[in-house]
Every structure is written in C-alpha cells, then in structure tokens.
Amino acid sequence: MQLLLVAHERDSTRRLEDVPAEVSTMFESEIWVNTVLKAALVRLATLEVCGSPVGPSDLAQQIRSAALNQFGDDLWDIREDIDSDRVTPFTVFLSRKVRMDPFRFYVSYCIEQMRQASRRRRFATLMGVQETCRCLLDSFAHRTGKRDTLLRIEKSLAGALSLIDADLDSNFLREVPHIDPDAVVFGLANSILD
C-alpha cells in the first residue's frame, strides 16, 4: 500500500509546466515506471480488498496488464491530460525533449501481447488499439489552437502504427466501429444491480 500511495502522490502532484524542456533519462524512466507501478498496484490493492489471494504470478500478470491498459488510457486521454497539465509519458513526449517514444512502445507492446494470445484475443487487442487511436484523433478534430500537437500526434501514431501495417491516410482507424468498453462494463454492472 505504501508504494501505491507514493506512486499516486507523484502522479497527482506533478505538473507538466514544472518539467524542464530537456528531460533527463532518469526522470523520464521514473515517469514511465510510476505510470505502470500505479496502475498495477491499484489492481493488486483491489484484489486484496476483494479477498482474492495475490501470488507472484498474479503480480507478474497485473504488471503486464497494467502496462497495456495504462498506456492505452493515457493515449486516449492525451487531450484531457494536456489541458489539465498532467505528466504522463505521452504529454511529456509531445511537449519536451525526451528519448523514449510512448506511441511506439504502446503499439509494440500490444503486438508483443498479441503474439502470445489466442486469435480472438489478438483481434480484440487490435480493435482496442484502433479504437483508442481513433478516439484520440477525434478528440482533437474540432479544436483550434492545438493543431501543432495534433500534427505531432498524427506523425507519432503513423510511425507507431506502421509496425502493424496500418495507414492513417487510408482512414483505416475511422472505419472501425465505435466500441466504448467502459459503457459496456457500466451497462453490465447496472443490469446486474437492477
């Protein structure tokens, strides 16, 4: 729990305006580690509170899942995080001089996870990547004053998605049907509670 509190405090108190123009490798690594650590520890704490036993294999699985989910969530929320001055691997990458590309990491990590999964899980992961990227682009579509950020995002996404042979210019992402996983989960929870 102590690690979770430290990770949460770092996440909630850091502001993008306080990050220097050129980020040290150590600070950049700390942002990435904190992102995954916070996400994994929240999941582990939830398991503990629910009375589920947590062993070493559970810890490894939560860290793998947390990286996938948290980077996807941070990608989806780039516009909101920029507007709120939040420090994430994506907002730092888009606004500061850094070495690690979270766009490429996210897509590469999804590809790696897909290699180890069943055919249906691979398809679901690819759909998730497409939906996350499409919603990110849609969130910037009608905004003026953020055009340079949008262009940098599009360039970064194009490079990352080339890893899975996706072409942004072909409207590949926009052709995917809209899926809102949160709405599905909340709808399921509401139907159970009703």
Domain ranges in the chain are: 2-193
- How far apart, in whole angstroms, are the C-alpha atoms of residue 7 and residue 33? 9
Q: What's the pTM?
A: 0.75
- How far apart, in whole angstroms, are the C-alpha atoms of residue 43 and residue 59? 9
Q: Is the pLDDT of residue 168 over 60?
A: no
Confidence at residue 100, expressed as pLDDT on a 0 to 100 scale: 92
Q: Is the pLDDT of residue 183 over 60?
A: yes
The per-residue pLDDT for range 55-79, each reduced to its tens digit, is 777 777 777 777 888 888 888 888 8
Which of 16-25, 47-56, 173-182 has the highest average model confidence (pLDDT)? 16-25
- How far apart, in whole angstroms, are the C-alpha atoms of residue 71 and residue 60? 17
Q: Give the residue with greater pLDDT, 117 vs 183.
A: 117
Confidence at residue 92, expressed as pLDDT on a 0 to 100 scale: 92
Secondary-structure percent of the chain, ordered helix, strand, coil, rounded to 5: 75, 0, 25
Which of 93-97, 108-112, 156-160 has the highest average model confidence (pLDDT)? 93-97
Q: Is the pLDDT of residue 149 over 50?
A: yes
CA dihedral over 18, 22, 27, 30, signed as positive or negative? positive
Mean pLDDT over the full length of the chain: 77
Q: Is the pLDDT of residue 170 over 50?
A: no
Percent share of the chain, pLDDT over 70: 78
Percent share of the chain, pLDDT over 90: 6
